[in-house]
Amino acid sequence: TKLITDVVCPFCGTLCDDLEVVVSDDGKELLEVNNACAIGAEKFLHSQAKDRLTRPRMRNEDGSWREVSYDEAAEFTAQMLAKSKKPLMYGWSSTNCESQVVGSHVAELVGGQLDNTATVCHGSTLIAVQDVGVPSCTLGEIKNRADMVVFWGCNPAHAHPRHMSRYSLFPRGFFTAKGHRGRTAVVVDPRPTDSANLADIYLPVEQGRDYELLSALRVAFRNEQLPDVVAGISKEKIYEVAEKMKNARFGCIFFGMGVTHSLSNNHNIDIAIQVTRDLNEFTKWSIMPMRGHYNVTGAGEVWGWQFGFPFCVDLSRGFARYNPGESSSNDLLMREEIDSVFVLGSDPGAHFPFSSVKKMNALPCVVVDPHITPSTVVADLHVPVAFVGVEVGGCAYRMDSVPIESHKVVDAPEGMLTDEEFLKLVLARVKEIKGV
Ligand code: SF4
């Protein structure tokens, strides 16, 4: 057997890069994964499933499947996209930047609606950052400098299981030699989560009233008067936390979908960023979204360079437009503006509202995914591909926007294509159809 070290985990936005993987001598079998959390390890081990699909399959009239070649699959996809007036090209978060680049090229040629999983996740963060900017830093700086961390509306103990041990709460760093004992952790969440159990201070904010609590912190920083209770938290507690934040040496607010998808949406993030700015009058603070899919940050970065917008990119007029709420996937589906759906690197069948999935079901739909998922259930064509980060490497952006290069650790089953290779076949065929 061979031991491969410094392997990058392709599951969540923490992108842990210290995994060790044991593979067979011929590099065809993955035998063991060390250092990963349970969900990360499962991603690697799932690639070894004996019943895994290795060839594309097309839906028959009666709903059954028949196997087709990758060339036939590319032909069907290219014809579907090229003939559509407004194809939705959704996902892009569990793939590498190389594939995102090729996908963007296809979308430009077919006038696609490009959207990634931020649309149902941290899209409101991206809007807030465009509104007011963001004082941020890297996870390495947190590990080495932070003596106070706030987890607001997120539960890393479950969603990013190694985040706290690698970067934010437990590790000892250059200026944080005491590790957990030298850090104050605050969790703000309506529910007493497992992350809340690890906190020094837990603030059970009332559901949907994050904006008020963030405003109250701004008031407390200035030592001005607060009502007795704000968002379910006593003013004494708010003054206490505000004082600790002002006196920290270096702090970071990590926030999740409890803030981005509760009342006020992007305005919650606007004011969380203002809180961070206020704190920088006294000491050094940063703020960082807990990005979910492993390369959702990369999708925003790649489209940022190419089109100027990180999600909800409408290319139907031949140039990039951006108007979340109008050009976001669910709105487009519900308004029935879309005439075909292409999904890669995500599972909208599992994450979108049922009414949107029903609309997808009524449209021509291609899903590129190594797994059988709820999205493949509504697909006319399912294209299984190599696992990105396991059977093919490439660039991905960690949640702090640091690009990390991963390498393949095991061979894909013979004859299987990668996302990028399949997209290149589609691109070549779209170019022929469009005569460009
Ligand atoms: Fe993978 Fe995330 Fe677990 Fe790290 S925390 S091993 S990146 S799933």
Rg from Cα positions in the chain: 23
- Topology given in CATH for the domain delimited by 57-119+294-434: Rossmann fold (3.40.50)
271 CB within 6 A, ligand 1: no
Are 244 and 217 within 8 A, CB to CB? no
- What pLDDT does residue 280 have? 96
| 265-310 pLDDT tens trace | 888 999 999 999 999 999 999 999 999 999 999 999 999 999 999 9
168 CB within 6 A, ligand 1: no
68 CB within 6 A, ligand 1: no
Specify the residue with its C-alpha closest to ligand 1, atom 7: 15
Q: How far is CA 77 from CA 72, 269, 350, in A?
A: 9, 38, 22
Task: Let me know if domain 123-289 sits in CATH 3.40.228.10.
Answer: yes
Q: Locate the ligand 1 atom nearest the alpha carbon of residue 160 and give its number.
A: 5
Chain Cα centroid distance, residue 291: 5
| 119-142 pLDDT tens trace | 988 888 888 888 888 899 999 999
d(CA 48, CA 172): 35
Residue-range domain boundaries for the chain: 2-46, 57-119+294-434, 123-289
Could you tell me where the beta strands, DSSP code E, fall in 174-213? 184-188, 201-203
Q: Distance from the CA of 40 to the center of ligand 1, in angstroms? A: 5
d(CA 148, CA 168): 9
Closest CA to 366 of 5, 79, 51, 26: 79
d(CA 433, CA 427): 10
Three-state SS at 83: helix
Q: Locate the ligand 1 atom nearest the alpha carbon of residue 162 and give its number.
A: 5
15 CB within 6 A, ligand 1: yes
DSSP 8-class letter at 377:
H
| 161-206 pLDDT tens trace | 999 999 999 999 999 999 999 999 999 999 999 999 999 999 999 9
- What pLDDT does residue 186 have? 98
Pocket test for ligand 1, best of 8, 20, 37 (most atoms within 8 A of CB): 37
Mean pLDDT by 10 residues, the chain (436 residues): 95 96 92 96 92 95 96 98 97 97 97 95 87 91 97 96 96 94 97 96 96 97 97 97 98 94 86 95 96 94 95 96 95 96 96 96 97 96 97 97 95 96 98 95
- Which ipTM score applies to this complex? 0.99
Are 253 and 288 within 8 A, CB to CB? yes
Specify the residue with its C-alpha closest to ligand 1, atom 8: 40
Could you tell me where the beta strands, DSSP code E, fall in 42-110? 57-59, 65-67, 87-91
Q: Distance from the CA of 9 to the center of ligand 1, in angstroms? A: 6
Specify the residue with its C-alpha closest to ligand 1, atom 1: 40
DSSP 8-class letter at 32:
E
Q: How far is CA 70 from CA 54, 76, 143, in A?
A: 10, 10, 45
Three-state SS at 180: helix
37 CB within 6 A, ligand 1: yes
**CB atoms inside a 10 Å sphere around CB 415:** 9
Closest CA to 124 of 294, 303, 328, 305: 328
Residues with Cβ within 8 Å of residue 392, at least 6 apart in sequence: 96, 386, 408, 412, 418, 419, 420
Residue type, 396: A
- What pLDDT does residue 121 have? 87
- What pLDDT does residue 261 have? 84
Three-state SS at 40: helix
- What pLDDT does residue 364 have? 97
